[in-house]
Chain A
Amino acid sequence: MTLRDALGWLLVGAAALYALVAVPAGGELTTMINGSIYASYAILALSLALIWGYAGILSFGQAAFFGLAGYVYAVAGLNLESTPLAAVIAVAAAAGFAALLGYFMFWGRISDVYLGVITLTVSLILYRFINQTAGEEWTIGAAPLGGFNGIPSTPILAPPGHPDEPFLPEQIYMLAVAALFACYVICKLAMATRFGRAVIAIRENEGRAELLGYDTRLYKLGIFTLGGAIAGVGGVLFANSVFVSPNMFSLQTNGQVIIWVIVGGLGTFAGPVIGCFLLMALSTGLGSLDAGPSFAVLDPNLVMGVVLTLCVLGLRQGLLPTALAFGGRLVAKARATRGRGAAELRRPAEERP
């Protein structure tokens, strides 16, 4: 493990500790609920960071798995005794759906941009479908799908064996933060395995990976399914933070995840999470401005759109990689001033032609 990796883990651990100990201590209810929402969205961002940043698969409809898991959780939770079981079913459903969709796309050799359009379309299909389920006929067991309004009666997770004692908002918050941390660790570990190295290699050069004997479709399917499952975890937690509604599948939600990942930095895990927190805070702030006396010059959509466009045009690497590179240059400079000889010997690979 390099020094940088160790520092990274230290920072992430500290952030998790802060979120689990310091934040709840002064916890107001709204902070807890907003915190849960942030964490659920951050998990969604993490799933896209994995799929897009590491595997190079342009899943522009990642919210499909998020929303699907949310809805499956709500419906199963309303029909079953056990909400934890419903959560497991929901995550499995998201993973299964991702596997099915992935099979279609990877075995059909659908590439790049087409893949982006198809995944987005799938998410929008679900959006259109759920949106029109307002009628009585759209009831699954004890769960009315509720159309545009969603399912306000989405059940809250309860500990196994105690279905009548659902978690309190601060417990949901703790759960969400812990889940975010766990998903981060899973992503990190997955990328350090043989499977993860193969996935990255396939992103770099699919043809070469095939010539080395990798059935690239299987690896893409595997990582896509894992991404679907992680997005599903986010969806279940979101359902517990607020309640499920078609908005989970919407074009805006899909767009936002992409913005978080781009702003935070493709090819990192912490970056998109940070991007998610920053931009969520920004749009929450703008949203509260919006509620003010008929003064709405800074519409959240406008700001997000401009941020995305400028990021693509300018800040090509995203916040975290840019910051890391800047830090790296500072360190190199410090070394260079300390001893020129040493700096010559240690000339990093980056400076070679």
Chain B
Amino acid sequence: MDYALIVILQLVVTIANLALISAGLAVIFGMMRIINMAHGEFLMLGGYAALVSHQAGLNLWLAIFVAAPVTVGLIGAVLERLVIRRLYGRMIDTMLATWGVSLALVGVVTVIFGNRVSGISPPLGSVPIGGYAIGLYELLTAGVTSLLFLGGWFVLRRTPVGLIARGAMQNRDMAAALGVDPAKVYATTFVTGAAISGLAGALIAPITGVAPSIGAVYIAKAFITVISGGTAILTGALSASALLGSVNTAFSFVMTPVLGEVALLAAAVLLLRVLPQGITGRFFRRSL
């Protein structure tokens, strides 16, 4: 009984983790059809932003929930201005340019912080469940992820901003038809995506630690989750996270965690053979 509970909790945490690291990328992909290769570095920067501001004396929660998203959002704004904006409509070029940005960010952070792993000790401790234990902090990140997606749903469904965003998701020219400058929509989207990634990176930093090249650890998982999900931001990221997270957990339990991850990626490649447009390209078409 305890074992079953711990497996279920572990599954929830894995799925939430996948959804969390993919959320920022999903926003940018869903709205702009851009594959942001620097996504992993946004997560990495979020981690460093939290780490540095915490070390400078800021309260840990403020560092994670305020300092990290604001910092990475600002970096996203600068990049949008310097690089992304010049390449609108050129999907492949954007992908390549953001790959360059990704490498450059790794380089900059290496120069500043050195090529080593730094850590924030995970707060909150763990809860015992029978003979097992699960980190309270990990449960908290799962909770925050749920809130993030609920918030996203609320914004998209119930606010004027969401209306424009939904229009832009369906049709690129829709924003213009609604009387909003598309460039503004894209800039806002990119910054929002960056800020969410910053928050996600900060949230997972106490679990994984931070290093300049840590983005590479997440990037494959985040990409494949978003692409498997399709262009619907929330449903896509969630359904793909649920599916791939389950595969990951199952294989992790049967074999090793790394093989679980290998299985996740392999499952996604197989999935895309069947559904080239992702899950929401076939199912839940009108979803968000």
Contact = CB atoms under 8 A, between A and B. Distances in A.
Quick check: do A and B touch in the complex, using CB within 8 A? yes
A94 to B, nearest CB: 18
Interface in A210-260: 250-252, 255, 258-259
Contacts of B265: 121-122, 124-125, 128
B100 A251 contact: no
A23 interface: no
Contact of B107 (A107, A113, A251, A302): A302
Contacts of B273: 104-105, 107-108, 110
A116 B111 contact: no
Contacts of B62: none
Nearest to B216: A251
Nearest to B270: A104
Contact of B96 (A110, A251, A296, A308): A308
A296 B87 CA distance: 31
A110 B227 CA distance: 11
Contact of B111 (A112, A122, A302): A302
Contacts, number: 135
Contact of B108 (A262, A299, A310, A311): A299
A7 interface: no
A250 B216 contact: yes
Given A113-B92, A128-B261, A301-B103, A251 B219 contact: yes
B86 A255 contact: no
A118 interface: yes
B250 interface: no
A234 B104 CA distance: 27
Contact of A299 (B100, B110, B216): B110
B83 interface: yes
Given A305-B104, A306-B100, A313 B87 contact: yes
B256 A132 contact: yes
Contacts of B101: 305, 309
B99 interface: yes
A308 B93 CA distance: 10
B176 interface: no
Interface string A289-323: 00000001101111111111111110000000000
Contacts of B185: none
Contacts of B92: 58, 112-113, 116
Given A304-B104, A311-B100, 6 more contacts: A108-B276, A110-B276, A121-B223, A128-B261, A250-B216, A299-B107
Interface of A: 58, 104-105, 107-114, 116-118, 120-122, 124-125, 128-129, 131-132, 250-252, 255, 258-259, 262, 296-297, 299-313
14 contacts: A110-B272, A110-B273, A114-B227, A117-B227, A118-B227, A124-B219, A124-B265, A128-B262, A131-B258, A296-B110, A300-B107, A305-B104, A309-B97, A312-B97
Closest 10 CB pairs of A and B: A302-B107, A305-B104, A305-B103, A308-B100, A309-B100, A301-B107, A299-B107, A124-B220, A132-B258, A312-B97
